[in-house]
Amino acid sequence: MHETARKVVAGEVHAVSRLIRDIDDGDSEVPAILKDLYAHTGKAYVIGITGSPGVGKSTIVDQLISHLRDAGKSVGVLSVDPTSPFTGGAILGDRIRMQRHAADQGVFIRSMATRGAFGGLSRSTRSAIKVLDAMGKEFILVETVGVGQDEVDVVGCADTTIVVMPPGMGDDIQAIKAGVLEIADIFVVNKADLDGATRAVNHLKGMLDLDSAKYSDGEWKPPILMIEAVRGRGISELLAAIDQHRERGQSSGVDVAREKVKEELLDVVRTSLVGRCLDYLESRTDKSVEAILNGESDPYTESENLINEFVSST
């Protein structure tokens, strides 16, 4: 077993931190370590929390941590922030709020940002979830801003996905409603003290009712919860809803698990195949580029040639 993997399984925080940073950086040793860790994963329950900026996701995560810790559970948190692909690190911003848990040994919190590595954010996040899982965290909270395909993929890694809505939603929700209906297992309208929270709930109810045919044959219908996260109101109800969804998920059985494993496998195939090919081509593209520049060839023809060269070299 790789030394780092051993340390991660033993719960050594420094090793975990370094490994997650290496994942973010696309370090070449990472796959071997993840392979060693794999046998130690599959026990954590992953909760995705998504929603527009400013909707109160971090406060909700903060409250969930407190409640889960009070119940004696260990917690890992990944804050995924794709809005800062440039800075080489996620913006801490209101994540600082969560830092009151930093001294708690049972909580591990990290921010992730894509560095533009191949496969992007969803691959890194998926790997980081495995690491927290292997280190023994019972619950893993993945917080991400709800914009773009990358983030949809991120919440695709979660067992339960919570979509957080602001009160009094107008055009915004119109715009994403189709997607929200697809990915949400639980809706939360935060800032229940503000005008428009009830309107938001009714609006969501109306949208779900349009799909009532879908839910009549026993499919999980996302509950809609009104909470006020800054005061901790509604958090117990949220945890109860998560538990219900979890039980439902476990009864839905092996088909879901099979689908998840397949997705994960193809994700590794993609990353690994492209990584190998680009490594191989590193110093072999010059001739093709010249041919294209001179108008003697095109990227499609050259791509075929290069791929064939790579494949026959392997």
Q: Which of residues 24-43 bind its own copies (CB under 8 A)?
A: 31-32, 34-35, 38-39
Q: Does 121 bind its own copies (CB under 8 A)?
A: yes
Supply the minimum distance, in Å, between the C-beta of residue 143 and its own copies. 16
Which residue in 1, 96, 102, 274 binds its own copies (CB under 8 A)? 274
Q: Are 204 and 165 in contact (CB under 8 A)?
A: yes
C-alpha distance across the termini of the chain, in Å: 27
In whole angstroms, what is the distance from residue 313 CA to residue 33 CA? 26
Return the SS3 of 224.
strand
Supply the minimum distance, in Å, between the C-beta of residue 192 and its own copies. 25
Supply the minimum distance, in Å, between the C-beta of residue 233 and its own copies. 27
Q: Does 1 bind its own copies (CB under 8 A)?
A: no
Supply the minimum distance, in Å, between the C-beta of residue 37 and its own copies. 9
**Please, which residue, 166 or 234, has the CB nearer to its own copies?**
166
Distances in Å between the Cα of 154 and the Cα atoms of 22, 73, 265 are 19, 23, 15
Size of interface with its own copies, in residues (CB under 8 A):
74
Q: Hey, how many other C-beta atoms are within 10 angstroms of the C-beta on 8?
A: 28
Which residue in 106, 147, 232, 246 binds its own copies (CB under 8 A)? 147
Supply the minimum distance, in Å, between the C-beta of residue 295 and its own copies. 7
Render 52-112 in DSSP notation, one character per residue.
-TTSSHHHHHHHHHHHHHHTT--EEEEEE-TT-TTTTS---GGGGGGGGGTT-TTEEEEEE
Task: Retrieve residue 140's tokens.
Answer: 């893993």
Supply the minimum distance, in Å, between the C-beta of residue 220 and its own copies. 18
In whole angstroms, what is the distance from residue 164 CA to residue 183 CA? 12
Beta-bridge mates of residue 231:
none
In whole angstroms, what is the distance from residue 235 CA to residue 158 CA? 19
Q: Are 140 and 86 in contact (CB under 8 A)?
A: no
Which residue in 3, 118, 198, 210 binds its own copies (CB under 8 A)? 118
Which residue in 149, 198, 250, 252 binds its own copies (CB under 8 A)? 149
- One-letter amino acid for residue 59 of the chain: T
In whole angstroms, what is the distance from residue 93 CA to residue 97 CA? 9
Stretch near its own copies under the rule CB under 8 A, chosen from 3-11, 65-73, 111-119, 135-143: 111-119
**Please, which residue, 210 or 269, has the CB nearer to its own copies?**
269
Q: Does 285 bind its own copies (CB under 8 A)?
A: yes
Q: Does 239 bind its own copies (CB under 8 A)?
A: no
Rounded to the nearest 5°, which phi and psi values hold at 253?
75, -150
**Please, which residue, 76 or 82, has the CB nearer to its own copies?**
82
In whole angstroms, what is the distance from residue 20 CA to residue 12 CA? 13
Q: Per-residue contact track with its own copies, 60 to 99, x per CB under 8 A? A: ----------------------xxxxxxx--x-x------
- One-letter amino acid for residue 131 of the chain: V
Task: Retrieve residue 185's tokens.
Answer: 């297992």
**Please, which residue, 171 or 195, has the CB nearer to its own copies?**
171
Q: Looking only at residues 160 through 189 of this chain, which bind its own copies when binding is defined by CB under 8 A?
A: 171, 175-176, 178-180, 182-183
Q: Does 261 bind its own copies (CB under 8 A)?
A: yes
Q: Does 194 bind its own copies (CB under 8 A)?
A: no
**Please, which residue, 65 or 163, has the CB nearer to its own copies?**
163
